[in-house]
Structure 1
Amino acid sequence: MSESIIYLDNAATSWPKPPSVHEAMERCLREAAANPGRGSHRMAVQASRVLFEGRKQLAKLFRVANPNDIAFTLNTTHSLNIAIQGWLRPGDHVIATSLEHNSIRRPLEALKRKIGIEITYVEPDIVGAVRAASVEEAIRPNTTLIAVTHSSNLLGTITPIGEIGEVARRRGVKLLVDAAQSAGVLDIDVEAMGIDMLAFPGHKGLMGPQGTGGLYLHPELEVEPLMQGGTGSSSESPEQPHTRPDRYEAGTPNTVGIAGLTAGVRFILEQSTEKIHRRESELTRALLEGLGSVEGVVLLGPGVEVERTAIVSFLIEGADPALTAFDLDKQYGIAVRAGFHCTPLGHRTVGTTATGAVRVSPGYFTTESDIVSMIEATKELARAYGKSHR
């Protein structure tokens, strides 16, 4: 099936991966599959090198001065939970937006119930644009965190992180950025953009495998670890070590996955985020123009003239989005995603709470013919749905 599928679900997990990712993971399984930091034999040392090389490549991509300020995690959700639960305290006020994924909203709401934090969700406009001024207006004396997505996983709208970072620094508030849809696609400079914490996945724009991700923490930021356990360092102490990255990496890491992630990041650095974003923008523009010309299709998010990441969500009037996605797969071999995309407040913002939407997300390896096939399939489905409702 994978050989014939037209894969347009890259916002969930990118596919296919560069061949170098497959090769790196197989090589690691053969040569460095021991426990890193837990022994002095040659395989353990080589495994440690795999992890450090991954940190180095990520630090280069995100302009992080010290690679040890990057902790490996399972995914963006894991990273966000470390940041949110490790930073916020009873009585703190946090600012988020209604575009947030449940990976931000649910930990925040849980802390609201458990320890009494306060939350303000800033509303963007109908196409998902967030204004830095609106974020600043929401700051209170007890505001300690701004937690925002870099790009909406529903609309592709890009949040002005640099502007919000300037507000955060000026007002003495920490900034946590969810880079689930931007890492590897948009240029990210943690220092220049004022980012104190950056949560990112390995399995999306960074071209790595599932079960990989990371969290950058500003060197002057002290965040409590989410988990306690073995690190291979300071084993004689009953307390979690304060040394980074050990403090946030309890337990045996996914060394093989990180080897693949490192190869993916190298691929990104070789191609450049500028080239990748330009390529994906061309495909997205063609998709927007094509779907926009289909009778009965309602597009969500900004217009074709506005820069966005490669995410296009839409509805066919009178059709259940779940049925549309099912038919695209069954009849045309096209993989998309339908539903609420773990962002119910985002659907409330754009008025699709009752239905959800179909999300199409091309990637760097998507072809022009894939986009044409998607547009033509949507035309046929819209026509068929229209006839069935007459």
Structure 2
Amino acid sequence: MKDVMYFDQAASSWPKPPAVMDAMMQCMQEYAANPGRGSHQMAVKASRTLFEARKNLAKLFGVKNPNDISFALNTTHALNQAIKGFVKPGDHVICTHVEHNSVRRPLEYLKASAGVELTYLTHDEQGSMQLNELKEAFRSNTTLVVVTHSSNLLGTIMPIGEIGELCRSHGAKLLVDAAQSAGVLPIHVADMNIDMLAFPGHKGLLGPQGTGGLYTHPDIDLEPLLHGGTGSQSEAIRQPTVRPDRYEAGTQNTPGIAGLNEGVKFILGETVDKIHAKEWAHTQQLMEGLLGIEGVTILGPKLGQNKTGIVSFNIQDVDSSEVAFILDQSFQIAVRSGYHCTPLAHEVAGSLAKGAVRSSIGYFTTDEEITALIEAVKEIQAQYAK
């Protein structure tokens, strides 16, 4: 089997830095005990690994207290903890038309079950929003604004700092979905007025699947999503009040977090600015090549505009799933097709009828792979144009 050219980085990053796998294996071999559940040397080492990961994440995101970061299974888990733990019956929440279902579905659940009011902000075809519309959407009972940092379909980057300022001036909290930006775009929770930040470990942070987390401002007390053992305050019948235990019921994924820690260390060493600059250059190279093919349209920001490394496209009237299948089977190129769990974003882009082929670039994507994808799309387009 030929080596796969991987353009599905927006779903999970691959390959990982070798240190990620090495740390996971070392954990399994040497100290795979329960963190925070014992005083023996293996348990202590496991606890230290988790805290080191918190410290490195805090450094990456500008968080003062590492214990304000709780680990989660993924961004979906973190978003559910933030949304369901914060929003109360009768609250008004503002979100956008380009949100992932990890935001939309919990909010719609609360709308149906608890009478929560929702407002969806509109976007233009490139996914850009108008801050004036957000300003006019605030109500007396608006408690939360939920915004993706970057659309997982369009790659559009949202003005989080300005949104945070508006939230603060109107007394609302800001929850940011960093699924496509953590490790790829600069994030500083204080400077950007972010109250809660949900992030994955397995995408831009270069860690394994089954890892992620949630930063929660120290002034916010969330109702825990899960209740159970924490290794602290065991005599109490309720969840502990101390962080991060309050939001981390059950045994944590120590091998996975050990790997995540190495991914974050890699990013801190390379720097987010360098990573984004490299991915942006490759994104422009891919967009320029695809735009040169007759019948190919690209969703989202135009060539030259800032965005993350997501390039979603369609070939004339060819079904997106068919294009992805051909790329995989005939060219050994892995992409994602369909609706990408964000149907409202497809409405914005005008692609709801057939979805889109999403190619996404990572730090380890090469010039040769970009060229190969462009040439493969040329061949597919030529075949269907006959």
Aligned 8 A contact 1:144 1:174 in 2: yes
Cα offset, 1:21, TM superposition: 0.4
Find the residue that maps to 1:214 and give its secondary structure.
strand
The CA distance in 2 between the partners of 1:245 and 1:144, in whole Å, is: 23
1:229 aligns with 2:239: no
Instruction: Name the aligned partner's letter for residue 49 of structure 1.
Output: R
Determine the structure 1 residue equivalent to 2:185: 186
* Structure-2 residue corresponding to 1:351: 350
Q: Is the aligned partner of 1:23 residue 2:16?
A: no
Are 1:121 and 2:120 matched, yes or no? yes
Instruction: Kindly indicate whether the alpha-carbon contact (under 8 Å) linking 1:318 and 1:385 is maintained by their aligned counterparts in 2.
Output: no
Query: What does residue 136 of structure 2 align with?
Result: 137
Q: Whole-Å Cα distance in 2 between the matches of residues 152 and 27 of structure 1? A: 36
CA deviation after TM superposition for structure 1 residue 142, in Å: 0.7
Q: CA deviation at 1:134?
A: 1.7
CA drift of 1:282 comes to 0.5
Q: Which residue is 1:208 aligned to? A: 207
For 1:289, the equivalent position in structure 2 comes to 288
**Distance of 1:133 and 1:34 partners within structure 2:** 52
Structure 1 position 43 matched with structure 2 position 49: no
SS of the residue aligned with 1:342? coil
The separation in 1 between residues aligned to 2:154 and 2:170, in whole angstroms, is 29
The secondary structure found in structure 2 opposite 1:240 is: coil
Q: Which amino acid aligns with 1:14?
A: S
Provide the secondary structure at the position in 2 that maps to 1:252: coil
Mapping for residues 34-113 of structure 1, pairs under 5 Å: 34-113=33-112
What is the CA deviation profile of residues 109-138 of structure 1, one whole-angstrom value per residue up to 9, with x for unaligned ones? 000010010100001111000222221111
For structure 1, the 5+ residue unaligned runs are none
Q: Is the 8 A contact 1:283 1:362 kept in 2?
A: yes
Report 1:240-251 matches (<5 A).
Answer: 240-251=239-250
Whole-angstrom CA distance in 1 between matches of 2:187 and 2:132: 21
What is the aligned residue count?
386
Separation (CA, whole Å) in 1 of partners of 2:115 and 2:237: 30
Secondary structure class of the residue paired with 1:120: strand
Q: Which residue of 2 aligns with 1:305?
A: 304
Task: Give the structure 1 partner of residue 322 of structure 2.
Answer: 323
Provide the rounded CA distance (Å) in 2 between the counterparts of 1:32 and 1:244.
23
Q: Deviations over 1:140-197 (max 9, x none)?
A: 1110000000000000000000000010111110000000000000000000000000
Deviation per CA, 1:200-254: give whole Å up to 9, x if none. 0000000000000000000111111100000000001110000000000000000
In the alignment, residue 54 of structure 1 is paired with which amino acid?
A
Unaligned runs of 5+ in 2: none
Q: Partner residue of 1:314?
A: 313
Task: Tell me if 1:261 matches 2:260.
Answer: yes
CA distance in 2 between partners of 1:305 and 1:118 (Å): 38
Letter in 2 for 1:75: N
Give the SS at the match of 2:147. strand
Percent identity over the alignment is 62
Answer yes or no: is the 8 Å Cα contact 1:310–1:363 preserved in 2. yes
Listed one character per residue, the Cα deviations across residues 235-292 of structure 1 (whole Å, up to 9, x for unaligned) are 0111000000000000000000000000000000000000000000010000000000
Question: Paired residue for 1:379?
Answer: 378
Deviation at 1:32, TM superposition (A): 1.6
Using the alignment, how far apart are the partners of 2:329 and 2:49 within structure 1?
41
- How far apart, in 1, do the equivalents of 2:279 and 2:373 lie? 15
Q: Counterparts of 1:36 and 1:270 in 2: how far apart (Å)?
A: 27
* AA matched with 2:65: N
1:342 to partner: Cα distance = 0.2
Q: Match of 2:185, as an amino acid? A: L
CA shift digits 1:334-383 (9 cap, x unpaired) = 00000000000000111111100000001000000000000000000001
Inter-partner Cα distance in structure 2 for 1:32 and 1:293? 54
Q: Secondary structure at the match of 2:89?
A: coil
What is the alpha-carbon distance in structure 2 between the residues aligned to residue 372 and residue 190 of structure 1?
37
Report what 2:269 is aligned to: 270
Q: Distance in 2 between matches of 1:233 and 1:75?
A: 24
The alignment's TM-score, normalised by the length of structure 1, stands at 0.98
Q: CA deviation at 1:310?
A: 0.1
Shift of 1:30: 1.3
User: Which structure 1 residue ranges, 4+ long, deviate > 2 Å from structure 2?
Assistant: none
- Structure 2 distance, partners of 1:362, 1:240, is 41
Counterpart position of 1:147: 146
Name the stretch that deviates more: 100-109 or 25-34.
Answer: 25-34
Distance in 1 (CA, whole Å) between partners of 2:187 and 2:63 is 10
**Deviation at 1:305?**
1.6
- Match of 1:358, SS state, is strand
**Counterpart contact for 1:315–1:357, Cα < 8 Å:** yes
The answer to whether the 8 A contact 1:131-1:160 is kept is: no
* Paired position in structure 1 for 2:12: 13
Tell me the CA shift for residue 31 of structure 1.
1.6
SS in 2 for 1:264: helix
